[in-house]
Structure 1
Amino acid sequence: MTQYIKTGLNIEDVNDPCFAIKDNIDKILIIDDAKDNRILLSELLIPDHKVFLAKDGVQGIKLACKHNPDLILLDVVMPGIDGYQVIKSLKNNESTMNIPVIFISSKISTEDERMGLDLGAVDYITKPFNPPIVQARVRNHLRSQRHKNLLEQLALIDALTEIYNRRFYELNVRKVWNESIRNNTQVSIAMIDIDFFKSYNDEYGHLKGDDALRLVANHIKKQLKRPHDIIARYGGEEFAVILPNTDANSAERLLIEICISIENLQILHNSSSISHYLTISIGGASIIPIPNMEHNSFLGIVDEHLYQAKAQGRNRVCWKKS
């Protein structure tokens, strides 16, 4: 009898609508009101994947939002909201819209299949299904999704410094802002500029300039200890830092440490008028955003404080506290 790895529970004994198998492998969510189908599909997929089960559409949507699976197997005919309504909900949610969905349904007409694909499904399998075919299609779609994810990740990386680029920053600053509004938490954002970088390039050449950019970028990245803290190359010699759920005092203290540590790298800069070494100027601000508040106006405040840091002599942090 098939058993769930780590739980030691027999497959028919599991009453919990959601249970995960293994770590660091592809996650698959099965949404089907028929217990026999959930069991059969689980037995097919458990050896190689982490599996979550939902017995209806409402539960499936909740689990998709919570676990962000790599693939969803979705029944069409279910009580309450059907599979077509489920996929519409998933595609209208920013956090789930890109999860590939395969319909597995007893509805076998061409019109049903067309409707499912038009709604955004990547495949449509009819019941009764052939287990090896299900396994093959799941494997192919997961492989395709991994390749797609890799390409998307590469498109968000700055080629020179290998940190995130401005596109990633712009995508995520809006996301972090909206999460802060929902959770009523503080967010801190900083803009960083390398002081007198044009004169550095003029004196030492662009190859040395590229080396300096890489060194500064990766040094700042190492100072950001939490996985959800973000640094991105904003453009040229400018970097942006996003610190979710971070108060003003903590953010300012961290950025001051970063500012000091960059000068302590002792990257020689004879053309600088403020130090023998390469330095940075930082402007930032912290806020608990409220509904209907636009993040662009807040980013303007961050920019203003970067200009203030430069006007006050550079190699310093100028922070706005709300």
Structure 2
Amino acid sequence: MLYVDAPIANLLDGTRGQPKLLVVDDQPINIQVMYQIFSADFQVFMATSGAQALALCKDNPPDLVLLDIVMPGMDGFEVCTRLKADETTRDIPVIFVTAYTDAIQETRGLSVGAVDFISKPVNPAVVRARVKTHITLKLQSDVMRRLVFLDGLTGVYNRRYFDQQFAMEMARSVRNQSPLSLIMLDVDYFKRFNDYYGHQAGDDCLRQIATTLKEGLRRPADLVARYGGEEFACILPETEFHDAMALAIELEQRIREKNIPHANSDAAAVVTISLGVSGRTGDTPGDASALLAQADVQLYIAKNAGRARVCGELMLSA
């Protein structure tokens, strides 16, 4: 259990760095005050309008938003309403920081999804304590959600999480006109492995493969999931096709170098994998099902060509 009085760094998994805090206010002096309060313990991001805040939350979701109410164009109530209506941002806690002090405004803020309401001028100790409380709750909630999306056998993400994240990364890739690559891979002759060595050895083999794949990914945003049975998938955001091919070749070699004996394989004397790679550029049509189907086709080609190899193809522009 993680407690509010634990250091902020202890609430993280060691790979994320400091928690991310987004301060939204149209007055730079107010943003400056918040930066001075939180910069030692948080990555502090700033937005001076509602539209800018929404864009930042979609592209680089913070762990918490400190949101002013009175802003030109789009007020804080509307920003919070939109955040809570979007599946990709609804779990980000929002604290209103405003000069309003009446109960009607506070009630409205809580009704649109905010978790707290702080009055200006802020007391640094109070705002720091409240933010830390809600950050703690958010990170604990993130841990629980991740457990739902983990494969029980291998410890990597499951198919459900893959489907969710792949759709999200495709949408981000299209929105930002950035590359996105996908690797589908299969353990060669795995049924023969299970029949010869037994299912317990088969389970251990899958665990070793999952761990090796996870350790082989290069970027924090890269993701490996157990797609089903002995099949795995890797989502590679912001990754050009040629870099994805290089990574796939490296992963194939890493698995081979585990030297897991496989006496009944026609590909090698050790366990090997076949990999299919697909990728899109910034101007390629944003069709998630097409990118997935292309990776599947390339995996099929790799298996038909003798297994223990990588095949890939870049999606062509429209």
2:296 to 290, 300, 303: 303
Q: Distance in 2 between matches of 1:36 and 1:181?
A: 35
Matches within 5 A, 1:1-322: 24-33=17-26, 45=38, 48-52=41-45, 54=47, 56-58=49-51, 60-61=53-54, 64=57, 68-92=61-85, 96-126=89-119, 133-288=126-281, 293-322=286-315
Conserved? CA contact 1:286–1:320, under 8 Å: yes
In structure 2, do the counterparts of structure 1 residues 214 and 89 end up closer, same or farther at CA, with 3 Å as the change threshold? same
Deviation of residue 179 (structure 1)?
Answer: 3.0
TM-aligned CA deviation for residue 168 of structure 1: 2.7
| Alpha-carbon distance in structure 1 between the residues aligned to 2:225 and 2:308 | 20
1 CA distance for matches of 2:101 and 2:278? 57
Secondary structure of 2:210 counterpart = helix
Could you report, residue by residue, the CA deviation over 1:172-197 in whole angstroms, capped at 9, with x for unpaired residues? 22223223323444433221111121
Taking a change above 3 Å as real, the CA distance of residues 311 and 174 of structure 1, as seen in their structure-2 partners, is same
Could you list the runs of 5+ residues in structure 2 that have no partner in the other structure? 1-15
43-52 or 106-115: bigger deviation: 43-52
User: What is the number of equivalent residue pairs in this alignment?
Assistant: 300
Instruction: State how far apart, in whole Å, the 2-side matches of 1:186 and 1:27 are.
Output: 25
- Within 2, Cα distance between the matches of 1:101 and 1:272? 55
| 1:269 counterpart letter in structure 2 | H
User: How far has the Cα of 1:240 moved from its partner?
Assistant: 0.6
Measured in 1, the distance between the counterparts of 2:28 and 2:172 equals: 36
TM superposition shift of 1:296: 0.8
CA distance in 2, matches of 1:35, 1:181: 32
Mapped partners of 1:319, 1:241: distance in 2: 14
Higher radius of gyration, 1 or 2 = 1
Distance change >3 Å, CA 82–CA 313, structure 1 → 2: same
Going from structure 1 to structure 2, the CA distance change for 1:145 and 1:309 (only over 3 Å counts) comes to same
- In the alignment, the residues of structure 1 paired with residue 46 and residue 257 of structure 2 have an alpha-carbon distance, to the nearest angstrom, of 53
Q: TM-score, normalised by structure 2?
A: 0.78
Q: Residues 83 and 269 (structure 1 numbering): CA distance in 2 closer, same or farther, change over 3 Å?
A: same
RMSD (CA atoms): 3.2
Report the secondary structure of 1:73's partner residue: strand
Deviations 1:60-102 (A, max 9, x none): 4465556633222223233432211222343355654332111
